[in-house]
Amino acid sequence: MGKINYDARLHTGYVAGRQLSPDALGTWLEAFARHLPDTRPLSWLDLGSGTGRMTPHLAGAFGGPAHGVEPSEKMRAQAVAGAAHPAVTYAAGSAESIPLPDASVDAALLFFVWHHVAGRETAARELRRVVKPGGTIFVQTNFSDLMPDVWWFRAVPEWGKADSAQFRTQDEVIGDFTGAGWTLAAREEVTWPRSASLAEDYERLKRRAVSFFELVTEEQIEAGFARIEELLPSLGSEPQYETSQLLVFRR
């Protein structure tokens, strides 16, 4: 996974900058549950598990075990230290080389991960190898032709252009999986609470824990924050929500 080096800088502010609230976690877990059998426990692969912001919650909600696989050593170390759970293990690995046996998990999650995967064809086949027949994968990613409406990209269009360049179209992403034998079972929009207020949202943004900051210059970053500071009084203070795309594939 990767054109973005999370070991260089991003790991330092990721937990504080990208942590999901209980309400946000609940929204996502409910979305996953809608596409899964009622049987428990269900075993999971959290591919690109990062600092473990989702992994222990998958184990808790669905019974586990949940296997977090993450290539970044420093992100993984934070997961081990701060996102432990009796039914969770964290291991080094990548989408192209998953350290799990064949047909070992009921479901797999790729949460804001797919745009970092270089060997997409290999990765889609690897997922098909480790997910059980009849199992499910959840792919949450942005699409270049269906980007979320986020206030800071409206304020700083240059940032938005850099961000959207990371992503491919929805049809292209679907093709990555159907070409490897997966069946598209559903696609839906999930609206989740990102922050309790715009001020909180901005404080998180200033931690620069979003990967597009690695794709713009320091000058563009400084100019963007200066523009936001000018606009802040006119932007309101209400809770901030984001609508994300979720693809569900069946093996």
Domain annotation covers residue 201: no
Which domain CATH number covers 71?
Answer: 3.40.50.150
pLDDT recorded at residue 2: 43
Report pLDDT digits (tens) over 2-54.
478 887 887 877 888 888 999 999 999 999 999 999 999 999 999 999 999 99
Whether the Cβ atoms of residue 136 and residue 185 lie closer than 8 Å to each other: yes
Domain that holds residue 56: 10-147+167-196+240-250
pLDDT exceeds cutoff 50 at 80: yes
Cα separation, 73 vs 51, whole angstroms: 10
**Tokens found for residue 179:** 């070409």
HEC profile of the chain = CCCCCCCCCHHHCHHHHHCCCHHHHHHHHHHHHCCCCCCCCEEEEEECCCCCCCHHHHHHHHEEEEEEECCCHHHHHHHHHHCCCCCEEEECCECCECCCCCCCEEEEEEECCHHHCCCHHHHHHHHHHHEEEEEEEEEECCCCCCCCCCHHHHHCHHHHHHHHCCCCCHHHHHHHHHCCCCEEEEEEEEEEEEECCHHHHHHHHCCCCCHHHHHCCHHHHHHHHHHHHHHHHHCCCCCEEEEEEEEEEEC
pTM of the model as a whole:
0.94
Query: Which has the closest alpha carbon to 47: 18, 66, 29, 68?
Result: 68
Residue 216 lies in a domain: no
Q: Which two tokens stand for residue 224?
A: 């963007």
In a domain, 189, yes or no: yes
What are the backbone dihedrals phi and psi of residue 95, each rounded to the nearest 5 degrees, phi first?
Answer: -65, -30
- Reference 105, options 118, 116, 121, 91; nearest CA is 91
- Average pLDDT across the chain, whole number: 94
The reply to whether 64 falls in a domain is yes
Tokens 């523009």 map to which residue? 227
Structure tokens at 115: 């745009």
Whether the pLDDT of residue 1 is over 80: the answer is no
Q: What is the pLDDT of residues 135-181, one digit of tens each?
A: 999 999 999 999 999 999 999 999 999 999 999 999 999 999 999 99
Can you tell me the distance from the alpha carbon of 156 to that of 29, in angstroms, rounded to the nearest whole number?
Answer: 32
121: tokens are 């064809």
Average pLDDT over every residue of 71-99: 96
Considering the domain boundaries, does residue 219 fall inside one?
A: no
| Range 211-236 average pLDDT | 94
With respect to residue 101, please indicate whether it lies within any of the assigned structural domains: yes
Instruction: Give the pLDDT confidence of 56-79 residue by residue, as tens digits.
Output: 999 999 999 999 999 999 999 999
Q: How far is CA 198 from the centre of its chain?
A: 21
Structural domains of the chain, count: 1
Long-range contacts of 177-181 (CB under 8 A, 24+ apart): 177/124, 177/137, 177/139, 177/247, 177/249, 178/249, 179/121, 179/124, 180/121, 180/124, 180/125, 180/127, 180/128, 181/125, 181/128, 181/251
CA–CA dist 149, 33 (Å, integer): 26
